[in-house]
């Protein structure tokens, strides 16, 4: 029995998937999703996921882009298993050997071109097309059939040292033992000619799966003119890698349950290539934002605090003003801020719009704003602030927390009208029309600062000397 299992195990080919980017631009999220699906499929089958760099286009390939591809994938957490990443530009001797063999066997030939176009060679290597029908089973689309006659004798190399994409792909997939080719739908019509080449070199045919495309809002192919399309741009916009992975997985695939929030490990377990959609999916950043927020809520508190600290401390505003913010304060405001943002970039926004200033410095008052909208003038604000101050002064430092502050002020607010009491209280602490509730604020700011701010609001806006400000 055991022997039988071992036998089956050894017989079954280990799954090998691959991601072969050409470094001609920053990593597009469509390509990132392709990488993700390859990664998920390999992981769930305990296979391997390999990278290689397709840099046979010497003009457009750039080191900068290659670096970006690696950085983006590692940021997303999509690690590859091959230690040595092949660069096709360095493998011409390998391709040359196959090219020579094919020519020797009469399966390819050197062709004199009659009317070479601009930049085209007068002599190229063409594949001798057997003009057959090619059928293959796509894991997503089912049986697909093409008549290869229409391809003619297609070019497989510009010369013996300069092979073309279709050729190098097939050789490298073969040599690295790729079993499953999972790629975008735009590759589907390349498949027959690659199968033809594969047959010619005696390579086993891989299993294909063609993914639907990611579309822009107008249903056209998502490209640069539609805004952010590269992984790095989403990273810069403050998205979490796990959220982007989660969203990308849901574009064109779903588990058949109501679950929408996944960790990458959950995706590895749940993902199913055969459940992938056939039609293209429109990219919706609103939903991405929502998913990002869900992941924000799930992330370890310490990680969020670290990022918050980094963003606040490195902001121009905080640096210019020379504010020193204690770790204790960071920790306190973190839970308030995380509730109010969808991406990290929202933190940066809050800083520049001064929504965070009142945590670190004395607020500026627009005295009229101390007035609750249902009150005729500032006199009630003055009375209430006075009274709140008196109440809070009786609450000792040791007992200064949100719960107790609420317990002390709430009955009074209930009695006198919540808005009339709480609005000026909150405004005195924040100086803003919008902010967290006064109890939270008072507990974050601490006893001393809270009392000082109430005092200051009374002095600046409500004392006799401030009469001029009264309506």
Partner RNA sequence: GGCCCUAUCGUCUAAUGGUUAGGACAGGAGCUUUUCAAGCUCUAAAUCGGGGUCCGAUUCCCCGUAGGGUCACCA
Site for RNA in 108-127 (CB under 7 A): 113, 116-117, 119-122, 124
Under the criterion CB under 7 A, does residue 155 sit at the interface with RNA? yes
Residue 249 lies near RNA (rule: CB under 7 A): no
| 269 binds RNA, rule: CB under 7 A | no
Single out the residue of 186, 173, 170, 58 nearest to residue 108, CA to CA: 170
Q: Could you say which residues in the range 16-35 bind RNA, by CB under 7 A?
A: 22, 24
By beta-carbon proximity to RNA, the closer residue of 113 and 313 is: 113
Q: Please, which residues have CB within 8 angstroms of residue 322's CB and are 6 or more apart in sequence? A: none
- 104 touches RNA by CB under 7 A: no
Site string for RNA, 367-396 (x = CB under 7 A): ------------------------------
Burial class (CB in 10 A: 0-12, 13-18, 19+), 433: exposed
Smallest separation, CB 427 to RNA (Å): 8
Which of 187, 232, 408, 449 forms a contact with RNA (CB under 7 A)?
A: 187
For the chain, the distance separating the N- and C-terminal CA atoms, rounded to the nearest angstrom, is: 93
**Number of neighbouring beta carbons within 10 Å of residue 267:** 23
Q: Does 272 bind RNA (CB under 7 A)?
A: no
Q: Does 415 bind RNA (CB under 7 A)?
A: no
By CB under 7 A, tell whether 144 contacts RNA: yes
Shortest Cβ 345–RNA spacing (Å): 15
**Which strands make up the sheet holding 16-19, listed edge to edge?**
16-19, 48-53, 86-87
Q: Which residues fall within 8 angstroms of residue 351, CB to CB, at 6 or more apart?
A: 311, 312, 315, 317, 318
> Which listed residue (87, 158, 311, 470) binds RNA by CB under 7 A?
158
Give the Å distances, CA to CA, from 404 to 335, 359, 411, 412, 452: 19, 20, 12, 14, 19
33, 65 in Cβ contact below 8 A?
Answer: no
Question: Under the criterion CB under 7 A, does residue 103 sit at the interface with RNA?
Answer: no
Q: Kindly tell me which of 384 and 447 has the beta carbon lying closer to RNA.
A: 384
Q: What are residue 425's DSSP bridge partners?
A: none
- Residues 426, 384 contacting (CB under 8 angstroms): no
The binding track of 202-241 with respect to RNA, each residue x by CB under 7 A or -, is ----------xx-x---xxx--------------------
Q: Does residue 166 interact with RNA by CB under 7 A?
A: yes
**Do residues 279 and 312 touch, judged by C-beta distance below 8 A?**
no
**Token code pair at residue 116:** 């070479």
Q: Could you say which residues in the range 274-313 bind RNA, by CB under 7 A?
A: 275, 277-282, 284, 286-287, 289-290
Interaction of residue 189 with RNA, rule CB under 7 A: yes
Q: Does 87 bind RNA (CB under 7 A)?
A: no
* # of chain residues touching RNA (CB under 7 A): 76
Please, which residue, 224 or 419, has the CB nearer to RNA? 419
């Amino acid at each position: 029995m055991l022997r039988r299992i071992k036998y089956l195990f050894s017989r079954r080919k280990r799954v090998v998937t691959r991601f072969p980017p050409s470094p001609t631009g920053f990593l597009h999220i469509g390509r990132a999703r392709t990488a993700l699906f390859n990664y998920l499929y390999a992981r769930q089958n305990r296979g391997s996921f390999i990278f290689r760099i397709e840099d046979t286009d010497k003009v457009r390939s750039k080191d900068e882009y290659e670096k970006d591809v690696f950085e983006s994938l590692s940021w997303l957490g999509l690690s590859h298993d091959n230690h040595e990443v092949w660069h096709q530009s360095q493998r011409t001797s390998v391709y040359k050997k196959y090219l020579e063999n094919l020519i020797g066997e009469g399966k390819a030939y050197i062709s004199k071109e009659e009317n070479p176009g601009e930049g085209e060679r007068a002599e190229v290597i063409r594949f001798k097309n057997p003009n057959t029908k090619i059928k293959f089973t796509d894991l997503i689309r089912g049986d697909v059939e093409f008549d290869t006659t229409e391809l003619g004798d297609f070019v497989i190399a510009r010369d013996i040292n300069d092979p073309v994409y279709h050729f190098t792909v097939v050789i490298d997939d073969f040599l690295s033992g790729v079993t499953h080719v999972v790629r975008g739908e735009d590759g589907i019509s390349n498949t027959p000619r690659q199968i033809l080449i594969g047959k010619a070199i005696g390579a086993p045919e891989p299993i294909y799966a063609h993914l639907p495309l990611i579309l822009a809002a107008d249903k056209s192919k998502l490209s640069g003119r539609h805004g952010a399309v590269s992984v790095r741009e989403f990273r810069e916009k403050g998205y979490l890698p796990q959220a982007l992975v989660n969203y990308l997985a849901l574009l064109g695939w779903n588990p058949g349950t109501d679950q929408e929030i996944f960790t990458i490990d959950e995706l590895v377990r749940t993902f199913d290539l055969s459940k992938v959609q056939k039609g293209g999916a429109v990219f919706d950043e609103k939903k991405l934002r929502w998913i990002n927020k869900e992941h924000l809520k799930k992330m370890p508190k310490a990680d969020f605090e670290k990022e918050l600290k980094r963003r606040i401390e490195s902001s121009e505003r905080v640096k210019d003003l020379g504010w020193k913010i204690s770790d204790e304060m960071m920790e306190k405001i973190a839970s308030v801020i995380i509730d109010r943002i969808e991406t990290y970039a929202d933190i940066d926004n809050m800083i520049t719009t001064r929504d965070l200033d009142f945590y670190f410095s004395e607020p500026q008052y627009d005295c009229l704003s101390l007035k609750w909208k249902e009150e005729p003038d500032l006199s009630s604000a003055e009375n209430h602030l006075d009274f709140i101050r008196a109440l809070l002064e009786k609450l000792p430092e040791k007992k200064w927390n949100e719960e107790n502050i609420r317990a002390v002020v709430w009955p009074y607010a209930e009695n006198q009208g919540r808005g009339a009491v709480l609005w000026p209280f909150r405004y005195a602490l924040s100086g803003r029309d919008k902010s967290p509730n006064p109890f939270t604020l008072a507990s974050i700011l601490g006893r001393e600062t809270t009392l000082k701010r109430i005092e200051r609001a009374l002095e600046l806006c409500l004392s006799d000397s401030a009469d001029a400000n009264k309506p």
